[in-house]
Amino acid sequence: MKALLCIPLLLAAHAWAADADADRAAIERVVGALNSAQSRPGARPDSSLFTADADNQLDRLENLNRRLSQASKEPWSETTTPKMVIQSIRFITPEVALVDAANTQYGAVIPARRIPVLLVMKKEGAEWRIASLRVMVDLAAFMSLP
């Protein structure tokens, strides 16, 4: 009898794991859309990527990206444009996830410059949106980067 009671629990756990994989892929698509907007000079990310009451520091991140891009225009710099790279996704609830990411610029001489970013993602209906975007770097420390 106990074995019969465990079967629904196992099925529910398996179904949530499948949903978590789909949710993880959806969150990666949102971050990819944010990256594609960042790669176009002067382009703003689509507002549908954010919740209506989103609290974000996107302007601060764009200022830091401009600083990184200026360094990449130096002769022989051989650096990429900054790109958001996901380091981890942690589901707090089925509708809320924390995304640790780094806005990263790769280079030949300087291996990588990373600006840590924390995204709070919220599921609205079937879509994941950014509820909060926080740049986790001290500006004074960033200004001292080579």
Segment 113-146, tens digit of pLDDT: 888 999 999 999 999 999 999 998 766 555 555 5
Please state the pTM of the whole predicted model. Answer: 0.75
User: pLDDT tens-digit profile of 74-107?
Assistant: 666 677 778 899 999 999 999 999 999 998 888 7
- Sign, CA dihedral 108-111-115-120, equals positive
User: In this predicted model, what pLDDT tens digit does every residue of 32-85 receive, in sequence order?
Assistant: 998 887 766 666 677 888 999 988 887 787 777 777 666 556 666 677 778 899
pLDDT of residue 123: 96
Could you tell me the domains of the chain?
2-143 (3.10.450.50)
Is the Cβ–Cβ distance between 54 and 130 less than 8 Å? Answer: yes
Q: Is 97 exposed, middle or buried (0-12, 13-18, 19+ CB in 10 A)?
A: buried
Least confidently predicted of 2-6, 12-16, 100-104: 12-16
Q: What's the pLDDT at 120? A: 96
Three-class DSSP category at 74: coil
